[in-house]
Structure 1
Amino acid sequence: MNPMLALRQYQKVGAQAQASEASPHRLVQMLMEGGLDRIAQAKGAIVRKDVPAKCVAISKAVGIVGGLREGLDLENSAEAVSELDSLYIYMMKRLAEANIKSDPRILDEVAGLLRTVKEGWDAIAAPGPQF
């Protein structure tokens, strides 16, 4: 058996188990982490000039950002949710542009935006100071 294939299967099962036990808040965190990972993979593929891997990683990143966008409650939303929706649309457009241009700077921009959103999301669940 191929050891890399076995490792991938193990990671997949581990991720599935973690997702099945995760709270909705943690699932969003996991999506954001996955998006950042895919962007990093795409950046590495650009450096290696591995066009197929770049396309796959960016496509997955677009899908993750799209999934985050689909999870927004736009019908019962505040203005901030509408702004987040627009930001997710912008990120998806920029990822597509990064794919076309093979531009790692665009990937850095999107990763920075996603990281900022993730930091805000992470802060929502962070426990307050203990007195």
Structure 2
Amino acid sequence: MAVKNPYAAYQQNSVTTKSPGELTLMLYNGCIKFINQAKVAIDDRNIEKRNEFIQKAHNIIREFMVTLNMDIAVSKDLMVMYDYINNRLTEANVKNDVVILDEVEDLVTQLRDTWKTVIQTQRQKQFGAGNQA
């Protein structure tokens, strides 16, 4: 059977072969992308698209919230941050406010960059430790 959409197959494959850490990084990047698309929609005065992209960003943040392991101390702090981000996304949507989206983008970018550092550190520990003599 021929693949109808090779790009879709590639995307599906790239998601299924990622580690949980890399998937989290992809979600952060997706959230940032949707926030930026919402800002463009505000500039274009496209209320429907603004709402669509903000809802997509909301969905990613909600997914982070429901998958937190609350037995880990840092999860409580992350929950507070995610809740704040969700509230600000709602406010940006209601007020049609790019400045709020800029703030939220900055927060999500900081979370993403921290997560990226964690992944890099883990890789160095996993693969770098065996190379030291």
User: Is residue 105 of structure 2 the alignment partner of residue 115 of structure 1?
Assistant: no
Going from structure 1 to structure 2, the CA distance change for 1:73 and 1:95 (only over 3 Å counts) comes to: same
- List aligned pairs for 1:13-92, cutoff 5 A: 13-74=9-70, 76-78=71-73, 80-92=74-86
Percent identical: 30
Q: Which amino acid counterpart does residue 48 of structure 2 have in structure 1?
A: P
Distance in structure 2 (CA, Å) of the matches to 1:19 and 1:125: 17
Q: Distance in 1 between matches of 2:87 and 2:8?
A: 28
Q: How far is the alpha carbon of 1:14 from its aligned partner?
A: 3.3
Normalised to the residue count of structure 1, the TM-score between the two structures is 0.85
Matched residues, number: 122
TM-score, normalized by length of structure 2?
Answer: 0.84
Higher alpha-carbon Rg: 2
Structure 1 position 15, deviation (Å): 2.8
> 1:30 corresponds to which letter in structure 2?
M
- RMSD of aligned alpha carbons: 2.0
Distance 2:86 2:92 in 1: 10
In structure 2, do the counterparts of structure 1 residues 26 and 85 end up closer, same or farther at CA, with 3 Å as the change threshold?
Answer: same
Q: Quick one: structure 1 residues 106 and 10, their matched pair in 2 at CA, closer, same or farther if it must change by over 3 Å?
A: farther
Deviates more, 1:10-19 or 1:23-32: 10-19
Give the Å deviation of 1:68: 1.3
Superposition misfits of 4+ residues, deviation over 3 angstroms:
9-14, 127-131
**CA, structure 1 residues 17+89, in 2 after alignment: closer, same or farther (shift >3 Å)?**
same
Structure 2 unaligned blocks of 5 or more: none
